[in-house]
Structure 1
Amino acid sequence: MKYCLLYALCLLNIGFVNAQIFDVDTIKQSGDNDKRINLVLLSEGYQTNEFSKFIADATNFSNEIFTQPPFKEYANYFNVYAVKVPSNESGTDHPANATDVTEPVFPAATKDTYFNTSFDTSGFHRLLYTYNSSIVYNVLAKNFPEYDQPIILVNSPEYGGAGGPYAVSSTGSSANEIIIHELGHSLFNLRDEYYPGDIHAFEAINMTQETNTNLVKWKNWIGTNNIGIYPYGTTGVAATWNRPHQSCKMRYLGVPFCSVCKEGIIEKIHSLVGPIDSYLPVSNSVTPTAFPIDFQLNLIKPIPNTLKSTWTLNASNYENDVDAVSIIETDLNTGTNNLTVVVHDDSPMLRIDNHETTHIYTVAWTITKSALGVDAIISKENNFNISLFPNPSNHILNLKVESKNAANLKVDIISLDGKKLKSTKISNYKNNEVDISRLSQGMYLVNVYSNNMLLTSKRFVKN
């Protein structure tokens, strides 16, 4: 995976800055870089003779993050690398000009470092950051262009860090907790659950001004694991904003992420990396002449495995929750046959039925059989993001499917006793409005199909 667009914008806006080639160490490798989320740590304020400390600090972070949910469960989805960027001096700048504390909290200093990080950024003592983004992104472009999330690790024992396009943290006693918290901002779009100030308050995964338990974006978690609607403050603008939990890592270091933030993290993981690492056979890589013919998936499995799969042959269920199937000659018709597998994540950390977006991953094989045997096998992999909202709904149900290769999309509305009540074609990448005004109040199923392949079956409530 890589963020080329952000880098390109950086070049357009700031101009090119030459970067050197540095040594890159592998801290954790779960798979190919284009099939994993790549966390790339950059050393800052480490001299060349301190690189062993940098690698130890980077390894310590990697070991820690994958002990904490949901990273523990999704560790197989991540690679971690460390780029040894040398600084001329150890440490980082401390101008001692912050306005939120009585300075100097520790001695003022100016250090010659590669990225020119500094405490006291924007007047906040603990805000450790650098605005020299052109240097950061050129180092990444030269040394690890496949990055998904840069992390600048600053060689300072003082407490400090920041989120943003790249996460920044010092290396003191709370360093790992700082990095994980800042990754919540930088990679997973989570907001602070302490009040961040009026200019930083806006609607997000874990921040809202909604107070209705039936409408709040985390309504599917209300009453579970102490999830509720808690105001940030008792007066002023803070009192109009709400968080989902009173003790989440986005508020306090040293505590777990709340259920809402865990779900948001997993959603972002799914948007970046699909669970299908590879599959066989690929198009025309083999022309089998003997049966059985084996079809298999190599999946990136959570720990424990929560992936579910449905195999369908010629529109009939063939097998469930297996990584491979064997097709015998009598399974196939003369002519064209369609074998599909649909994979989704059934993690209990996701509340799918009420969740707005479902991620679906598929492989479809077209098998051509003649009197002489199998003539060809053509394969196609696809990903689908399926959004259904609002849920519950009164009159109109909005449905959006996003997929590069979707075709012949349709939706069926099914009663809980299995009767098809409505069927309509829908368009890819468009908001499709489905009229449900004539349905009686109650619970229904929405089945979404592409080329007659069932992608997902979601429950919704008609008010």
Structure 2
Amino acid sequence: MFNESPFKEYSNYFNVHIIYVPSNESGADHPGESFDPEETPDALLSPITSADTYFNATYDSYGAHRRLFYEADGNYANQTEVKINSVLADNFPTYDQALILVNSDEYGASGGEFPMSYTGYWGPKTVLHELGHSMFNLKDEYYPGELFTEEAINMTRESDETLVKWKNWVGTNNVGVYQYTCDTGNCAEWYKPHQNCIMESINKSFCPVCTEGIIEKIHDLLPPINSFTPNNDNAISNAAFPLEFELNLIEPLPNTLESEWTLNSASFATNQDLVSIQEEDLTIGTNTLTAVIIDNTELLKVDNHETTHVSTVTWTIEHSTLGIESIESSNTTFTVSMYPNPVLDVVNLKFESDNTENVTVEIISIDGRKIKSETLTNSTVNSINLSALPSGIYLTNFYANKVLLATKKLIRK
């Protein structure tokens, strides 16, 4: 798994735990009941077998020979899911994604809440494909049938290269807008980004669009700040100078994280994990030191990604003529969405944060004049009327506690 991109770049973001669940027998059931044209009662793809396994691993599930699932169909799956949930609750309840491995050499797998894979030759690549479904919300890039078609990271009805959701990748590494093919069904209505992706054939790797989708999900699950010092658990008083502030970051390989430090709203350091503050750097009273961290990997081509996944640490330093009175800290992750952009009259801004109540947005003209200033309430869509502004390009600056967190470009039609 961690030899494949993007998992090899983001291996530091993963912990893998194995739970050994004993069964009375090895393998999986094969009742010989698939509807596949290539498998008939007189020409089975593999011998009919029955294996007493704890999660009742079964080929031919839902009528497809290669669909290896816990139970033959949904009528019994709920009973097995109780057993799966019980094993997870007893052994590792804080999991993000569980995967069931079946000790079998016969090719088979399935996605869903609890993906399942055989352990034969293509087992490792099959695991990646199924995790693509279950953990990262990717769609098959072979035509999966009408029941499994919907707008997704790597599936769309949009055929215009300038409008498709992966438009930033079109023309790079063979990314395009490719029509699905099929013998029956409505596949002509659906498009995919690549013709050489593991989501179509397991002997491939993830295409750039799927790679991007996986990284964005990783960002959703885990911010890059593992820890920082000083923190409120070891709050400092009467500290001696120089004061040291340190970030312990979860670094991709190679490291693509960027950090910007500000002290009292002025730039202080860039791309440093450790900074030192001298007494002459501080004013008497309250001082604010903030570190803003983003991931600037070339594996992403997301518009305005610098405001999509942003993590910050802020230290509040109380300084008097007697020295340092206290240092307190807070850690925040946030996203900002802005739409439509370009905008005709009204632009909608939504700010979401785990602990910041609100931020200030300033709309700046291209010559540096502040046009508007608004306060955005956390998790609320804020609408701003721009109909009085002339057409052109503007900048929107987002501030928390007077610290610049991010800048987005805004186009007024």
TM-score, normalised on structure 1? 0.82
**C-alpha distance in 2 between matches for 1:398 and 1:260:** 27
Residue aligning to 2:106:
158
Amino acid at match of 1:145: P
Question: SS of 2:246's equivalent?
Answer: strand
Residue aligning to 1:208:
156
**Of 344, 349, 365, which aligns to 1:399?**
349
Residue aligning to 2:218:
269
Residue aligning to 2:287:
337
Report Cα offsets for 1:393-422 as digits up to 9, x if no partner: 433333211112223412122344433333
Note closer, same or farther for the CA distance 1:274–1:416 as it changes in structure 2 (3 Å cut): same
**C-alpha distance in 1 between matches for 2:403 and 2:142:** 45
1:123 and 2:73 are equivalent in the alignment: no
1:296 and 2:236 are equivalent in the alignment: no
Shift of 1:356: 10
Report Cα offsets for 1:152-193 as digits up to 9, x if no partner: 010010111011111210011110110001000000011111
Residue aligning to 2:12:
76
Report Cα offsets for 1:69-98 as digits up to 9, x if no partner: 111110100011111111100111111100
Amino acid at match of 1:112: D
Contact 2:358 2:378 survives alignment (8 Å): no
1:370-389 correspondence runs (5 A): 370-389=320-339
Shift of 1:431: 1.8
**C-alpha distance in 2 between matches for 1:419 and 1:388:** 21
Note closer, same or farther for the CA distance 1:441–1:87 as it changes in structure 2 (3 Å cut): same
Contact 1:403 1:428 survives alignment (8 Å): yes
1:423-434 correspondence runs (5 A): 423-434=373-384
Count of matched residue positions in the alignment of Structure 1 and Structure 2: 399
Note closer, same or farther for the CA distance 1:315–1:201 as it changes in structure 2 (3 Å cut): same
Structure 1 unmatched ranges of 5 or more: 1-64
Note closer, same or farther for the CA distance 1:243–1:395 as it changes in structure 2 (3 Å cut): farther
Residue aligning to 2:97:
149
1:185-200 correspondence runs (5 A): 185-200=133-148
1:252 and 2:189 are equivalent in the alignment: no
Contact 1:357 1:388 survives alignment (8 Å): no
Report Cα offsets for 1:99-127 as digits up to 9, x if no partner: 01314210111111111110111001111
**C-alpha distance in 1 between matches for 2:298 and 2:390:** 30
Contact 2:340 2:348 survives alignment (8 Å): yes
Contact 1:353 1:458 survives alignment (8 Å): no
Amino acid at match of 1:122: Y
Report Cα offsets for 1:241-266 as digits up to 9, x if no partner: 11111211111112221111111101
Q: Which deviates further from its counterpart, 204-213 or 104-113? A: 204-213
Note closer, same or farther for the CA distance 1:342–1:98 as it changes in structure 2 (3 Å cut): same
Question: SS of 1:80's equivalent?
Answer: coil
Note closer, same or farther for the CA distance 1:363–1:357 as it changes in structure 2 (3 Å cut): closer
**C-alpha distance in 2 between matches for 1:357 and 1:414:** 17
**C-alpha distance in 2 between matches for 1:373 and 1:191:** 59
Question: SS of 1:445's equivalent?
Answer: strand
Shift of 1:440: 4.5
Shift of 1:286: 2.4
1:28-177 correspondence runs (5 A): 65-100=1-36, 101-103=38-40, 104-130=44-70, 131=77, 132-177=80-125
Amino acid at match of 1:178: T
Note closer, same or farther for the CA distance 1:217–1:394 as it changes in structure 2 (3 Å cut): farther
**Of 313, 337, 344, which aligns to 1:363?**
313
Q: Which runs of 4+ in 1 moved over 6 A?
A: none
Structure 2 unmatched ranges of 5 or more: 71-76
**C-alpha distance in 2 between matches for 1:74 and 1:393:** 36
**C-alpha distance in 1 between matches for 2:199 and 2:387:** 41
Question: SS of 2:55's equivalent?
Answer: coil
**C-alpha distance in 1 between matches for 2:307 and 2:186:** 30
Note closer, same or farther for the CA distance 1:305–1:356 as it changes in structure 2 (3 Å cut): closer
Note closer, same or farther for the CA distance 1:394–1:229 as it changes in structure 2 (3 Å cut): farther
**C-alpha distance in 2 between matches for 1:195 and 1:313:** 54
Q: Which deviates further from its counterpart, 289-298 or 438-447? A: 438-447
**C-alpha distance in 1 between matches for 2:8 and 2:303:** 24
**C-alpha distance in 1 between matches for 2:65 and 2:365:** 59
Note closer, same or farther for the CA distance 1:195–1:440 as it changes in structure 2 (3 Å cut): farther
Residue aligning to 1:58:
none
What RMSD over aligned residues (CA atoms) do the two structures have, in Å?
1.8
Note closer, same or farther for the CA distance 1:264–1:67 as it changes in structure 2 (3 Å cut): same
Residue aligning to 1:413:
363
Question: SS of 1:330's equivalent?
Answer: helix
**C-alpha distance in 2 between matches for 1:216 and 1:177:** 28
Report Cα offsets for 1:343-373 as digits up to 9, x if no partner: 1111111124355971110111111111110
Contact 2:294 2:306 survives alignment (8 Å): no
TM-score, normalised on structure 2? 0.92
Residue aligning to 1:218:
166
Identity level (%): 51
**C-alpha distance in 2 between matches for 1:380 and 1:255:** 43
Residue aligning to 1:323:
273
